[in-house]
């Protein structure tokens, strides 16, 4: 049961539309929602505004 809860939490964490903290390539924290991703770009929502940014803007861990 505990494993199922952990898997559900991780699935929600990485589902588009779920707000979370990302780190950019310079180590700064960004609180945003992942709206969409395609190829080398992602769409994030920060404060109700959507931005198209390159995946390389994020830390190596967040790119994965």
The residues spanned by each domain of the chain are 2-63
CB 43 within 8 A of CB 35: yes
pLDDT of residue 15: 56
pLDDT of residue 47: 83
Distance CA 11, CA 26 (A): 26
Taking only the tens place, the pLDDT of each residue in 46-60 is 888 999 999 898 888
The hierarchical CATH code for the domain 2-63 is: 2.30.30
Phi, psi for residue 7 in degrees, rounded to 5: -65, -45
pLDDT of residue 1: 57
pLDDT of residue 7: 61
Tokens representing 43? 């769409």
Taking only the tens place, the pLDDT of each residue in 3-48 is 766 565 555 555 555 678 889 889 999 888 888 888 888 888 888 8
Nearest-CA neighbor of 51 among 34, 28, 26? 34
């Amino acid at each position: 049961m505990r494993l199922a809860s952990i898997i559900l939490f991780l699935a929600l964490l990485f589902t588009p539309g779920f707000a979370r903290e990302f780190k950019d390539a310079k180590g700064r924290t960004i609180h945003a929602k992942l709206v969409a991703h395609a190829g080398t770009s992602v769409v994030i929502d920060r404060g109700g505004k959507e931005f198209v940014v390159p995946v390389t803007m994020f830390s190596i861990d967040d790119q994965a």
